[in-house]
């Protein structure tokens, strides 16, 4: 199971690196596509790993992640609801805030996911040491 988590984590990191490398060629269009793909990937990853986060002592961090995600998705949804209304300028401001927040949330998830993987690796290593002593 740890191998799958590591593949998931490094796949997300590879996508981030590709987004950064492609900025000179695709400009913000490439970053937008990359953020959408990364966001979807991280939502699925977080859904599948929430149980692991809760049972390894990262409950507060994963709850904070879900609150940030839901708030960000609400801002983006609000923009889509009022896209053609008189308050369009204000909605554009909210959209840019939400997109900046999405980048922050992606980095936050990668950080707590890396900590989770390190903790699980350490626990597996310690379990192996204690089993070999008996």
CA distance 100 to 120: 31
- The answer to whether residues 45 and 66 touch, using CB atoms and an 8 Å cutoff, is no
Please tell me whether residue 82 adopts helix, strand or coil conformation.
Answer: coil
Print pLDDT tens along the chain (134 aa). Answer: 889 999 999 999 999 998 888 888 777 777 888 889 999 999 999 999 999 999 999 999 999 999 999 999 998 888 777 767 666 777 788 888 888 899 999 999 999 999 999 999 998 888 777 776 65
Query: What pTM was estimated for this model as a whole?
Result: 0.87
Dihedral sign computed on CA atoms, order 65, 69, 72, 74? negative
Whether the CB-CB separation of 39 and 102 falls below 8 Å is answered with: yes
């Amino acid at each position: 199971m740890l191998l799958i988590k590591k593949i998931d984590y490094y796949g997300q990191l590879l996508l981030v690196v590709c987004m950064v490398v492609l900025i000179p060629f695709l400009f913000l269009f490439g970053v937008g596509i990359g953020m959408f793909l990364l966001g979807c990937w991280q939502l699925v990853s977080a859904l599948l790993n929430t149980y692991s986060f809760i049972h390894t002592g990262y409950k507060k961090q994963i709850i904070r992640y879900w609150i940030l995600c839901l708030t960000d998705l609400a801002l983006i949804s609000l923009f889509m609801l009022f896209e053609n209304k008189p308050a369009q300028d204000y909605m554009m401001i909210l959209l840019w805030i939400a997109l900046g927040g999405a980048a922050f949330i992606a980095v936050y998830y990668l950080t707590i996911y890396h900590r989770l993987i390190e903790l699980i690796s350490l626990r597996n290593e310690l379990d192996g040491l204690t089993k070999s002593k008996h």
